[in-house]
Chain A
Amino acid sequence: MADNLPSEFDVIVIGTGLPESIIAAACSRSGQRVLHVDSRSYYGGNWASFSFSGILSWLKEYQENSDIVNESPAWQEQILENEEAIALSRKDKTIQHVEVFCYASQDLHEDVEEAGALQKNHASVISGNPTEAAHSACLPSEDESLCSVICEVPREQTPSSDLETALEIHDVEVTGEKEKYYDNKTCVKSGSEEETSENVPTEEDTALQPKKNRITYSQIIREGRKFNIDLVSKLLYSRGLLIDLLIKSNVSRYAEFKNITRILAFREGRVEQVPCSRADVFNSKQLTMVEKRMLMKFLTFCMEYEKHPDQYKAYEEITFSEYLKTQKLTPSLQYFVLHSIAMTSEKASNTIEGLKATKNFLHCLGRYGNTPFLFPLYGQGELPQCFCRMCAVFGGIYCLRHSVQCLVVDKESRKCKAIIDQFGQRIISKHFLVEDSYFSENTCSHVQYRQISRSVLITDRSVLKTDSDQQISILTVPGEEPGTFAVRVIELCPSTMTCMKGTYLVHLTCTSSKTAREDLEPVVRKLFTPYTETEIENEEVEKPRLLWALYFNMRDSSDVSRNSYNDLPSNVYVCSGPDGGLGNDNAVKQAEILFQLICPNEDFCPPPPNPEDIIIDGDSLQPEASEFSVIPEANSETPKESTSLGNPEEDSR
């Protein structure tokens, strides 16, 4: 079936992370023939989101630590005399130090079943079930089969756009899980000694009725598909580059967003809300009247600080935190501005950087709500897929679970001319985009990577209780000792479609100084308590209880200069993996720069033509129909999408 792939493209994109997907969409939109492949079975690479069972199989893959050796036809034979090959890596090394802890009560009986299910699920994802495999392998080479490709895009990871199919698949998984396997715990709790005591066997059956308010591990498993767990935890600045791009390209119609509802700060052991908009300041109960005025005055100044150089010129040399001390601000206001609004730290930024960050924050306020941030429903992993979808609409061809063995370089011209895929097929192209993690160690031997420490928690309540239990919050916890980094905490409620009812999904992110657990556990301990039986007896525990925790380190390949990679031909471009920053500006910037190299002088993701404006003049346009044959299909897609992906924000745009 692999033979069906066309053998020639204009652009081959390897990796389906956000920058790659944007470039693929942009190229496809500009009329390039695009092949977009990913060796994984899911979209997004390290930008992906997983259901609960999905994340378990994902982490198992990294914990197993064994190379998956696929028997592939030897590609070496195909390299001609005037050619060289750049072998690509067979194994992803971007994730390290994966550790999982389960605190929710685990009924032994159930536990057994669920744990077994993981294996099954894992098997289905990694080694592929027949239908899935057929999808990725059965690649259409003719235009008329494009539609099936388009449909496939959402099926993999987008429950929203193809809900029924998704439901079916999950049902099969969950019910299937219950019957077979007896292996337990190993994949859930590896690396943790402290919890053996928790696995108290109880004689209860697998009753579906939980004890009131107590979420058990089996419930999480059972409702696993309600989770969409992001590998990278980011938000969209409501005036950031990504929002602009989503709107400009009309990709926004494939996604829905929710406004972050509050900005929090952690101070003196307490979580409190940071007033940042005018309405917040007005409504705040914690600020004194005078503080309200001070804060508003300072923020108003920051909005147009460039116009008042007299107020900061003298302080340009010092850090932002020192500068704040010179302003009329009480210590708590200084804290809010420094950590929660400018989102920097004592040492990290100078006055100008701090003012710029504050201004940016304020500038984004109020566009879609009372905070500057948006979160995509169903998780950050939606975004790469949205762009993939646009790429597919304009004729891009998608192949998941399709690895590329090597790039073929012409010795004479020093240009890359083709790839050889896992089936040994040689596919020619003009441009090659490769995500950093696909390069082998030979290519990256001189590259210095930074690391991001990540943690994902499932908790039973919000870190700051309010009337509404549907709050989406961002909290910055400054690094305590010098040399440690601030930890960004994003707490998602069930209405973001990323976790089951009664739980919150909490993401922690910081620049690594040690392993993820060493970096993040102190913060986790400050904010949460482990979910233990004894504590349940006490009526009200102040802190939210941890049900489940995952730690891992992710490679940060942003900021790596192209020159650090060995021997890259000029038509091979490197896309970096996710960076540790909060916004997505890096990815968009990178995508635009690379797109301009591939398609100089082309508009970057212009809005697609309105289907109603397209006049299909059958006779005259038939011969040159390459573009127009695609668009009517896009049109036929539209009604289907709008039912499942109606975008309430669209009005305000």
Chain B
Amino acid sequence: MRQAGELDESVLELTSQILGANPDFATLWNCRREVLQQLEAQKSPEELAALVKTELGFLESCLRVNPKSYGTWHHRCWLLSRLPEPNWARELELCARFLEVDERNFHCWDYRRFVATQAAVPPAEELAFTDSLITRNFSNYSSWHYRSCLLPQLHPQPDSGSQGRLPEDVLLKELELVQNAFFTDPNDQSAWFYHRWLLGRADPQDALRCLHVSRDEACLTVSFSRPILVGSGTETLLLMVDESPLAVEWRTPDGRTRPSHVWLCDLPAASLNDQLPQHTFRVIWTAGDAQKECVLLKGRQEGWCRDSATDEQLFRCELSVEKSTVLQSELESCKELQELEPENKWCLLTIILLMRALDPLLYEKETLQYFQTLKAVDPMRAAYLDDLRSKFLVENSVLKMEYAEVRVLHLGHKDLTVLCHLEQLLLVTHLDLSHNRLRALPPALAALRCLEVLQANDNTIESLDGVANLPRLRELSLCNNRLQQPTVLQPLVSCPKLVLLHLQGNPLCQAVGASEHLAELLPSINSILT
């Protein structure tokens, strides 16, 4: 019938019989839409109004059959957006009714948001509506989520972009509300997630974190606040050398064309010559509306400019920097709750996050203890927790290094399972990763353009993808790892300055003629100790 173009009331009648019994039948809804579109052209306004009324009634009966049918709600959206004068008040009433029956019906919530947008319902009214439903039953992701959309609309903060933060008084009220929820039922996740949203912040402002110029390698490296894909669409970088634009080819450290925190380009000899007392390099990130400048002085091998580690933006992305008193009191109440509910994982995790937000270094020891407890009560997520813990430890070490203003980073004996924030380590020359539980040196390691010495003994490393294109790497220690085949060393070929390689205690050393094989594979390396 559909193919024959027989789109008239009989199709409506037929489909309604089937949909009335089972509304989850997308094809039939499509069919109905086609019919309705056809009829729209043919019928008089009065007939059409009657038709629409029947259709709305029919939709309601379908919703009663299955209040969670995607097709039905979608069809209603479609129908209403086509109406010249839709009765939005009635639709809101319908939503309220359905949410009365099941306050967690997210289909209906979705539809309500659609209606509220279309009818321009003031956010305050919608907020009051979520209030009433949360009062009835706070285990309601949809309701909490809606709040997180409405509150920033109600209280726009000038300086914080689209996903802005809330003013402190509103934030405090919300915190109290959500605390009520998780003290009442700490096993209810919806409240904890909302709590995390409240304490969290929007994505940090786009920025260039670090700019580094090396005379030797004739290379300029930039790290960004978020991974970008240079050259795609709007993401363009403009390089000004001594205030005049220079066209360059941007690439990622590992050579792959995909979003990356770090991008680099080769510089022509002219922009590095020693004739001028200094060269200035300025990178302008048009999409991010940010730029950074660094200076290479005459006679220096390199020059850089980077945000200082004391800038709180660095690692507190998880939680915001609201007045620490708020966070402090949050921490206190969570600790109280934890005493009552020693085995509640949400509470433990929130404590850890709060401590990080407050002062990652001060609370480092305590945080590690909470991780221990958390792993014990939630063994199913042990690996996730290990990775999270690794992340925090790396962050702490980076902070300490930057406070000390050195370019040496010690990450040994930390039980790390994963490496992260490598884009922050652009300037590091010595990195110690020994005695951890790392299984790989990931591709992102290639961002460490200044790295000269890398120690990664006593791990369980099997692959070395990240040890590639490191222009200054001289010495690499990989003793007591799990390198199986000489071929895994292939990436090392691309490190021109590598002269010393320690491979003792790896399976590949057992193979007959291993040394010869390696010498053949890596002819440029002076000494390979096996």
Contact = CB atoms under 8 A, between A and B. Distances in A.
A281 B181 CA distance: 9
Contacts of B180: 282-284, 289, 292
B340 interface: yes
Interface string B175-190: 0000111011110000
Interface string A296-337: 110000000000000000000000000000001000000000
A283 B340 CA distance: 20
Contact of B337 (A283, A289, A328): A289
A218 B140 CA distance: 52
Given A297-B340, A328-B340, A289 B183 contact: yes
A274 to B, nearest CB: 15
Interface stretch (B60-68, B131-139, B146-154, B444-452): B131-139
B278 interface: no
Contacts of B137: 278-279
Interface of A: 278-279, 281-284, 289-290, 292-294, 296-297, 328
6 contacts: A278-B184, A279-B138, A282-B138, A289-B337, A293-B184, A296-B184
A290 B182 CA distance: 10
B136 A290 contact: no
Contacts of B181: 282
A278 B135 CA distance: 10
A492 to B, nearest CB: 24
A273 to B, nearest CB: 14
A95 B99 CA distance: 51
Given A289-B179, A289-B333, A282 B340 contact: no
Contact of B135 (A279, A293, A294): A279
Interface in B104-146: 135-138
A289 B333 CA distance: 8
Contacts of A290: 183, 336-337, 340
B364 interface: no
B462 interface: no
Contacts of A289: 179-180, 183, 333, 336-337
Nearest to A290: B336
A297 B336 CA distance: 14
A284 B176 CA distance: 12
Contacts of A279: 135-138
B337 A293 contact: yes
Contacts of B302: none
A289 B338 CA distance: 12
B341 interface: yes
A278 B186 CA distance: 12
Contacts of A284: 180
A289 B191 CA distance: 14
Given A281-B184, A290-B183, A297-B341, 12 more contacts: A278-B137, A278-B185, A279-B137, A282-B138, A282-B181, A284-B180, A290-B336, A292-B184, A293-B183, A293-B184, A293-B341, A328-B340
**From A279, A281, A293, A294, residue with most partner B Cβ within 10 Å:** A293
Contacts of A296: 183-185
Given A297-B340, A328-B340, A292 B183 contact: yes
A278 B187 CA distance: 13
Nearest to B136: A279
Of all A-B residue pairs in the complex, the 6 with the closest CB atoms, nearest first, are A292-B183, A289-B183, A282-B184, A293-B183, A281-B184, A293-B340
A326 to B, nearest CB: 16
Contacts of B135: 279, 282-283
A162 B397 CA distance: 83
B138 to A, nearest CB: 5
B136 to A, nearest CB: 6
Nearest to B139: A278
A282 B137 CA distance: 9
Nearest to B188: A278
Nearest to B333: A289
Contacts of B185: 278, 282, 296
